[in-house]
Amino acid sequence: MRVGFDAHMVGQHETGNETYALGLLSGLDAAGFPVDAYAFTRTPAGIHRFHRTGPRQSYLRIPITNPLLAARDKLDLFHATYVIPPVMPCACVVTVHDITYALFPDWFAPRVRGMLQIMVPLALRHAARIVTISEHTKGDLITHYGIDPGKIAVSYLAPRPAFADRLASIRSEGPFLLYVGNVEPRKNVETVIRALAVLRDRKLEVPLKIVGKPGYHYEVTVRLVQSLRLSHLITFLGYVPDDRLRQLYASCTALVHPALYEGFGLTPLEAMVQGTPVIAAATSSVPEVVGNAAILVEPESIEAWIEALERLLGSAEERERLSRLGLERVKSFSWRRCAEQTIQAYREALR
pLDDT digits (tens, 9 = 90+) for 147-158: 999 999 999 999
pLDDT digits (tens, 9 = 90+) for 204-221: 999 999 998 887 778 999
- Annotated domain spans of the chain: 3-158+334-349, 162-332
Residue 334 has pLDDT above 70, yes or no: yes
Residue 51 has pLDDT above 90, yes or no: yes
Q: Where in the chain does DSSP place strands (E)?
A: 3-6, 36-39, 49-52, 77-81, 91-96, 129-132, 152-154, 177-180, 208-211, 234-238, 254-257, 278-281, 295-297
Does 3-158+334-349 match 162-332 in CATH topology? yes
Residue 14 has pLDDT above 60, yes or no: no
Residue 42 has pLDDT above 80, yes or no: no
pLDDT score of 17? 84
CA distance 341 to 277: 29
Residue 44 has pLDDT above 70, yes or no: no
Question: pTM for the whole thing?
Answer: 0.90
* CA distance from start to end of the chain: 12
pLDDT score of 43? 67
Residue 130 has pLDDT above 60, yes or no: yes
Domain 3-158+334-349 homologous superfamily, CATH:
Glycogen Phosphorylase B; (3.40.50.2000)
* Cβ atoms within 10 Å of 187's Cβ, excluding its own: 26
pLDDT score of 109? 81
pLDDT score of 202? 94
Residue 45 has pLDDT above 70, yes or no: no
Tell which residue, 159, 117, 2, has the closest CA to residue 70: 2
CA distance 39 to 168: 35
Task: Answer yes or no: CATH 3.40.50.11810 is held by domain 162-332.
Answer: no
Give the pLDDT mean for 282-291. Answer: 96
pLDDT digits (tens, 9 = 90+) for 165-185: 998 877 777 799 999 998 888
Q: Are 186 and 104 in contact (CB under 8 A)?
A: yes
pLDDT score of 256? 98
pLDDT score of 15? 66
pLDDT digits (tens, 9 = 90+) for 308-331: 999 999 999 999 999 999 999 999
Residue 69 has pLDDT above 60, yes or no: yes
Residues 6+ apart with CB under 8 A from 43: 7, 10, 11, 22, 37, 50
Phi, psi of 304 (to 5 degrees): -65, -40
pLDDT digits (tens, 9 = 90+) for 254-281: 999 999 999 999 999 999 999 999 999 9
Give Dmax (Cα) for the chain: 67
Residue percentage of the chain with pLDDT more than 70: 98
37-46, 92-101, 201-210: range with lowest mean pLDDT: 37-46
pLDDT score of 213? 81
